[in-house]
Structure formats: C-alpha cells, structure tokens
Amino acid sequence: MRILYIGDIVGRAGRDLVCHKIPDLRRDFGVDFVIVNGENAAHGFGITEKICQALFAAGADAIVTGNHVWDQREILGFIDGESRLLRPLNYPPGTPGRGVNVYELADHRRVVVAQVQGRLFMHAIEDPFRALDAVLDECRLGSQVQAIFVDFHAEATSEKMALGHFLDGRVSAVVGSHTHVPTADAQILPGGTGYLTDVGMCGDYDSVIGMAKETAMARLTQVLPTERLEPAHGEATLCAVLVETDDASGLAVSIEPLRMGGRLLQTLP
C-alpha cells in the first residue's frame, strides 16, 4: 500500500496548492490513500466544514488536525458526523470527534489512521503512548488491517523519536507534525516501522512557520500590542511523505520525503 501524508496546511496559499496537486500526486506516484493535516487551513487557525469538503473533493481520504482543531468553533458541530476528520486520540473522554478510524479501500484493504498529541511544551493531556497501546491491543497489523499510520502532533523531537521506537514493529509508520519545519531523518526503524520526525508544512516558507514574518518578528522583539498573526500569502511549498508498506506484514518497505513548489529544495520520491 502507498500512503501519502501531506503536512500542516497553513492558510490559502497552502490550501490552494494542496487541492491542486493531490490528483497529480495520486496518479504520478500510484498513491492508494491520502492523509492531510488541515488544522491551520482556515486562515492559519483551525479548519471549517467547507475546507474539509474541498480537500475531500480533491482526493484526500482522511484529514487529521492537532492542537488548533477547535479554533473554528463551527467544526464542533461537524466532526462527530464525519469519520474522515480526526482530532487527537488522547483528548479527554467526552471530547467531540474521534482520534482513530479504520478506512477500507476499494480493493478491501484496510488502513488505520490514528493521531495523538504530545505533552512536552504543550497542553497537559492524556498519555499518547498509553492511548495508542489501547488501540493496538484491539487492532493487529498484518492480520486485521494492512497498514496502521500514526501522526504524532508534537513539539519536542525527543518525544516524537521516543514514540517512534515505542511503536516500532507494531505500526506501519510514525510521522510527526506541528512544528511546520521538515526534518531530514526519514528512515525505517529496526522493527520495520517508517519514521519521520516532522513532515513540515504546506505554505509560504518566506514567513515564520507560515505566518507573515513582520508581525511575528514584532511579537518577538517588542512589548507592545501587535496585529493578529496572518498567514503569509507568497508561493507555497507542499511538504509530504510517501510511505510504501508490505500488505502481508503491514510494515514499511520505504519512506521518502516529498517537497515541491515554493522556496525549499525540491525532493521527489
């Protein structure tokens, strides 16, 4: 199975590029399943039903979010009824939505997508390690499902790496999101799990993590009120990762970064 995970979309620049490119990427790389992180897609803060529908229409099979999932309050009335939209699994019981789901492809192969949120330098929430343990106790890779993909939305590289090793051999891939900066450590861990610390963002990199650099710099150099952060509107870069798995074992055969457009060095699988 070939799974394409597209990193955090920031604002219109990233959103337009992703919607435009998904059909080409599916065709050119023989992609079976597309996951998109959309938590900053709505002007840099959260996601809306309209944006979700646009991403699904473009060819996204699942959308994950993160700590900005509730920034657009309208999503509270949408997420419970949309199984293709996920929020972090390790949120408290009773939180709307779901953090894991099983998706069936047209050929009846099944893929699990799960998202957890980190705790280092972020909100104090439930343990992401134990939350995933509970999921994996009920879902066996290579027998019940052909692939398990985990997005770890976290700040600290150490926490991301620790989760990768914790899940090695039990899931197809662990890929990090949240920092909006792509890392260069794509690898297959000793137990066969594909790993990447952070996939990076889809947005204008002539910015501060996707936001207009002038306002961001003012916030860091002054003690005065500043304007609200706004997404940068220049040419966007699409950052993603392509993971190929073995259907029999569910483990990774390859994991390759993909970057196209904008300012960053182009990288294709």
| Domain containing residue 86: CATH number | 3.60.21.10
* Confidence at residue 25, expressed as pLDDT on a 0 to 100 scale: 98
Domain extent at residue 241? 2-260
Q: What is the dihedral of CA 142, 98, 195, 190, to 10 degrees?
A: -40
Give domain status of residue 183, yes or no: yes
pLDDT, tens digit, 9 for 90 and up, residues 160-177? 999 999 999 999 999 999
- Dihedral sign, CA of 17, 116, 120, 196? negative
Place of tokens 């604002």: 11
What does pTM read for this prediction?
0.96
Give domain status of residue 43, yes or no: yes
Q: How many domains does the chain have?
A: 1
Give domain status of residue 120, yes or no: yes
Task: Check: CB of residue 1 under 8 Å from CB of residue 61.
Answer: no
Average pLDDT over residues 106-135: 96
Give domain status of residue 265, yes or no: no
Give domain status of residue 29, yes or no: yes
Per-position DSSP letters for 124-168, written without gaps between them: --S-HHHHHHHHHHH--BTTTBSEEEEEEE-S-HHHHHHHHHHHT
Average pLDDT over residues 174-182: 98
Average pLDDT over residues 197-217: 94
φ/ψ of 110, rounded to 5, equals: -120, 140
Where residue 269 falls among pLDDT bands split at 50, 70, 90?
very high
Give domain status of residue 89, yes or no: yes
Give domain status of residue 266, yes or no: no
**Which positions ≥6 away from 27 have C-beta within 8 Å?**
none
* Confidence at residue 227, expressed as pLDDT on a 0 to 100 scale: 84
The answer on pLDDT for 143 being more than 90 is: no
Sequence-ordered alpha helix ranges (H) in the chain: 11-28, 49-58, 128-138, 157-167, 213-221
Give domain status of residue 268, yes or no: no
Which positions are catalytic? 68
